Chain A
Amino acid sequence: MSEFDAIIVGAGPAGSSAAIKLASSGLTTLLVEKADPPGSKNVSGGIMWGNELGGVLPDWEKDAPLERYVISKGTGLLTSDSLISVDFRSRKFESRKTGYSVLRAKFDQYLANKAKSKGATLVTGVTVDGLALKDGKVAGVIQEGDEITADTVILAEGVNPRVAISSGLRPEIGDKDVAIGVKQVVKLSEATINERFNIRGNSGFAGEYVLGFLKNGVKAGGFLYTNKETISVGAVINVGTLRADNETHSFEIMDQFVNHPFISPYLEGGKMEEYSAHLVCEGGIGSVPKIYGDGYLIAGDAAGFSYSNGLIIQGINYAITSGIAAADTVIEAKSKSNFSSGMLRGYEDRLQGKYVLKDLKKFRGIEEVTWSNLAHKALPDIAEETLFNLFYEEGIPKRHLMEIVLSATKKSGVKKTDMILEAYRTMRRM
């Protein structure tokens, strides 16, 4: 007899969603989190896209600590001198919310407490050291030499899953699986934020930018999100190009972004209240390990379930969906008293049915284009040159648009054939 039906390692969105579902269904559930309180080590940009939480908490929009809903979505290319951006605003987002900005310290604590109120045993401030094995099956967790047993363990440790890795359930992370995320939270009054972003009430702005001004081929994306009384601003840095350069510090990229002449006015006069850094799960389907086995399931970032195209990151929603699917699988396994790999295989089937694995499969190879030269270098330069020439009045007849584009392309130094190839690849993946 095991002490618990399920033990969940990590109270992030994946772990807490699974715990809410399991405890609501009456299974004895232990949720272990190393941070105290939960969420105090977690970082997101962060917009929670979609409505996945409704799957476990029907009233989440009423009581979750949500900052603002996205009504205005910006996408931009930043060069040293210019910003080329598209700002899409729609009243349609008022009735059909696409995403909410959240701050993880509060948000994760809310989720963990929900799990607790549904009956899960929530232990915070304790780090799980490893997995307990019995006859080659996962039989629980180990902490400071003590073994706590469960029929199933759900590993929801996030992007750097030490327990899964040290137990050989997934390989070590490498340059291609992750990006370095750095972030600052800047305090401003609600009125100032509303004015600067031209938003009202609890509507908000979410902007993502290609940082085309970086030197020596370093690639990074920037984000700028509004919260109620703070702004979240940060950068997601590609590791391979940072390594190839070996001259730029990760923390300098953050400064270059916030000091950019077209970003800094948003933050002017604000108080920098928090600096943070965290890895971003990048790999796409290429890095998804085997996500189930005898007595265990892996969910959220720990399983590589995150979608990133170098700008927008969707991880919270995937974490929640996979957490719920893992819980559903455990509930079924419990009803059949079978916790073998063959039974827990249902987890993968459940995810196939959802968009998680479908999306990841559809975007197979996304990691190749996410950090393509086209997006990060050529496109910003070409767009800047083209638009500048288009709008700049010098009293001589305008050239044909195509002519401008072609000469800008030539100036950017990218070979036409390379560009066509990358453009084709990008189109195919997006």
Chain B
Amino acid sequence: MEIEEKLSVLNYKTDKGFEHITVTPDICEVCPDYFCTFACPAKCYTVMEGKLNFKYEDCVECGTCLFACSHGSVKWNNVKGGHGVKYKYG
């Protein structure tokens, strides 16, 4: 089962008014390792045509990218109340 298919089973209440995680494109552009793309368990970080692409909508708020990126590119916040992933088992 592909990760995309696994994520499609999840219930998210996406906050259209607030991106809780943002990256700094200038830093990512010269990234030597792209470790975020290996560490993030929800495949929110991908490299496309040599450029880092980040999508917050699939994020399960695990917190990994916050310290996985050792170049200071990731700004990490809690989602705002009631938004984000909503597990039914957990």
Instruction: Tell me whether A414 is interfacial, beta carbon within 8 Å.
Output: no
Tally A residues with Cβ within 8 Å of B.
53
Q: Does B21 contact A (CB under 8 A)?
A: no
By the criterion CB–CB under 8 Å, are A162 and B9 in contact? no
Q: Does A336 contact B (CB under 8 A)?
A: no
For A127, give its contact among B34, B42, B80 (CB under 8 Å).
B80
Chain B interface residue bracket vs A = 35 or more
Question: Which of A40, A44, A125, A251 is B88 in contact with, Cβ under 8 Å?
Answer: A40
Given contacts A160-B66, A243-B68, A279-B63, contact A105 B87 (CB under 8 A): yes
Out of B63, B67, B81, which one reaches A175, CB within 8 Å?
Answer: B67
- CA A415 – CA B82 in complex, angstroms? 53
A133-141, A145-153, A178-186, A341-349: which lies at the interface: A178-186
Other-chain residue from B7, B35, B42, B89 in contact with A243 (beta carbon distance below 8 A): B35
User: Chain B residues with Cβ under 8 A from A40's Cβ?
Assistant: 85-88, 90
Main SS of chain B's interface residues?
loop
- Asked if B25 is an interface residue, CB under 8 A from chain A, the answer is no
B63 and A276 contacting across the interface, CB-CB below 8 Å: no
Pairwise interchain contact A36-B64, C-beta atoms closer than 8 A: no
Give complex CA distance A272, B40 in Å: 20
Task: From the candidates B43, B78, B90, name the one contacting A251 in the complex (CB within 8 A).
Answer: B43
The chain A residue sitting closest to B62, CB to CB, is A277
- The digit string for A154-189, where 1 denotes a CB below 8 A from any CB of B, is 000001101000000000111100101110110000
Partner of A278, one of B43, B62, B67: B62
Name A276's contact: one of B3, B39, B60, B68 (CB within 8 Å). B60
- Which residues of B have CB within 8 Å of A124? 82
Chain A residues near B86 (CB, 8 Å)?
35, 40-41
Q: What is the distance, in angstroms, from A169's C-beta to the closest C-beta of chain B?
A: 16
Q: B15: shortest Cβ distance to chain A, in Å?
A: 11
Question: What is B's interface to A at a CB cutoff of 8 Å?
Answer: 1, 3, 6-7, 9-10, 33-35, 37-43, 60-64, 66-68, 76-82, 84-90
